[in-house]
Structure 1
């Protein structure tokens, strides 16, 4: 039974890691597959939009006959209840987990698994989470509508403050005032650590650190847009409204302060950009020491450059300042497409900790494209199985650029203006194409 459960968990973990779902991520420490961490990125057009919500899974030896236990760990130290069904204590109320009374057929079955649990939790993160509260249908309609609006407003604020801003500031070792702070021990958070049996508390298990940094760069403009919209609805200093279902030690208390959040978000972006530039300096030192990563990247660079020369692709690859950690890719627009005739320069920064930290691409030539953020950061998907292969990253970026009939996916919303035009009506699409072509023409000037 034990071996069967481990086999089942391992397979589900592998399937999810191979998935191209941009809103879910899972990870285990070492080989302990029974203790797992998962990340859910909040859905588009909800108050949880592009927030980073982490959960701890514990699988028993009777899995999949019995469901795992699931604990929400993005709770601001047990002080914030993000949903009627996600408590400040970390309890997740779902009928398939046996933590909530469900209708017949909604209970756990062995046919369900890790992905179905994550999707069920994600479904709680709706545009109107107030509806998740039992008895919602019987509530006073006028008061209820007011509560729904105010509940959404405070969730949006705390999603930004706790799941995005606080998380990124901790990852970057900066305080709320923007000052650099010394890294803290994980000792105070040991209860939230899903693997605290023989864990070295001075080195916390943070498998989503790099992922969240890269996604922050994707969604930076969306965070700012959310703040701009919220500022028309609430004022700084306004207190959160307590909901009827919120009780002592299981609530979401606080005050709105979007001015402060915007300042902190802009500072995180600045520090992330500085971190990327710092990789180049660290890379030169690693090159001098002939580190394994430096040698590996130099070899990959030479192989990829040679493959471009042998193929029909006109793209060119160079090292910046002879640094194997900074590549310059010259991309030529694909013939017979809207990119035809364009000439674009991309800078690729690699970390001395590659592939643990994934490369960061930046278009130095401006291109108006729904998959490229206004600062030049491209949104692309690289399979986890090939993340140590630099060529797969380059190919994935080019594929994202050239894809002619992409499926609608709001998780790729990195340029709000271009995205809205691309997925708008026929006139919007025409405007998008005109602006794309204009940026292509300007790339040659």
Structure 2
């Protein structure tokens, strides 16, 4: 008889992965379903905003009768306590533990745990500490502000910058790990481990975080500029009353350095698509499986466009099936009417494990398009290997006439604020969008 806990865990993982939740992601190795990794993207309007916080779940055979063991992975190697309830050691304190009426229930599950952790990431995390819920003394008000400031800094430094630098092989000074290794070898260090000897790391959120970084890049820079007006570089973090020597958030502010590192990360991610294009031509020459698949999908999509009422032109750049160039014609009777936009879709040689990156080459003022042209769109999670699904989602994102408000889709700050800023602001937004459509053909 199948292990009931395995069945339950597998179903919960599948349920989360089938949704388009933009703030939660889960993954596990195929052979190890009891050990799950989860990513929570910090909520808007909190010091955790758009940070990438990873957690490790270990499910016992008695699950769901007993709750899983949960550990925070994003701790700067055990040196950073991100919340009164998220310790530097990785321990996560839940409200149901030890409180009558709030015990763990088998009706709860992985998603409810993630939402509970996410709820800790509030705009005023100071009050999460027991005994400080209603602290209103002047010193408490000052501490609350100081606590928010240092969490915002470390969210950017640790959960975003360090994570992306690790993914990209970047050093804090902007050098790549390969460059640093070469320098070390030039100095006579012959004891470096060969890359082929290193264990393969489990990094299930690597591609997701890169794509989300492109979404939120301008928000990160905006947060840095606002913080620079509040604190000075090299100013020391204030220790909170509930922080101890081995369970705290210590450090100094240095937003100037964080800004420089942000720019380096953006440049490295942008350079990846050029690497993909070069590798794609090599893959095409070798008739690799991915190259053949993308060529076949390209031909299918060309036929799909021919059957559509609204014409679009599609071609391969330099005959490369890893770089698609789409000419998008604005839909009649919309703010995009008359527009003629060039969109590029870049594919990795590891597609679909690495998802496409879609970018407007023609400037457009749209709340779902970042300043660099990156499109915020949501492909069907069950069809991520289907390029047509991606294009359909792109069109839906830019053509949707009455989208629901969702702060997780903030990729163009000015356009977003105008779109949801009231009737007068919406009119200005519509004028700006129509103007960009007109300029696209000038």
| TM-score, normalised by the number of residues in structure 1 | 0.94
Task: Give 1:216 deviation, angstroms.
Answer: 0.2
Instruction: Determine if contact 1:173/1:183 at 8 Å carries over to the other structure.
Output: no
Partner SS, residue 321 of structure 2: strand
- Structure 1 residue 313, shift from structure 2 partner: 2.9
Matches within 5 A, 1:19-418: 19-96=19-96, 98=97, 101-102=98-99, 104-137=100-133, 139=135, 141-182=137-178, 202-418=199-415
Gaps of 5+ in 2: 181-196
Shift in Å at residue 182 of structure 1? 3.6
User: Residues 323 and 85 (structure 1 numbering): CA distance in 2 closer, same or farther, change over 3 Å?
Assistant: same
Q: CA deviation at 1:212?
A: 0.2
- Local SS of the residue matching 2:93: coil
SS at match of 1:329: strand
Distance 2:158 2:428 in 1: 37
User: 1:235 offset after TM fit, Å?
Assistant: 0.3
- For residues 281-318 of structure 1, give each alpha carbon's deviation from its aligned partner in whole angstroms, at most 9, with x where no partner exists: 01001111111000000000011011111332301110
2:11 aligned with 1:11: yes
Give, in whole Å, the separation in 2 of the partners of 1:318 and 1:88.
51
Q: Are the aligned partners of 2:156 and 2:220 in contact in 1 as well (CA < 8 Å)?
A: yes
Find the aligned partners of 2:250 and 2:311 in 1 and give their Cα distance.
57
Q: Answer whether contact 1:2 1:61 (CA < 8 A) is retained.
A: no
Return closer, same or farther for 1:387/1:27 CA change in 2, 3 Å cut-off. same
Q: Structure 1: which 5+ runs fail to align?
A: 185-199
Deviations 1:243-277 (A, max 9, x none): 00000211000000000000000110011101111
Name the SS of the counterpart of 2:256 in structure 1: helix
- Cα distance in 2 for residues equivalent to 1:312 and 1:406: 23
How many residues are matched? Answer: 427
Please state whether the residue corresponding to 1:318 is helix, strand or coil: strand
Alpha-carbon distance in 2 for matches of 1:89, 1:340: 55
RMSD: 1.5
Q: Could you tell me which residue of structure 1 aligns to residue 186 of structure 2?
A: none
2 CA distance for matches of 1:25 and 1:178? 29
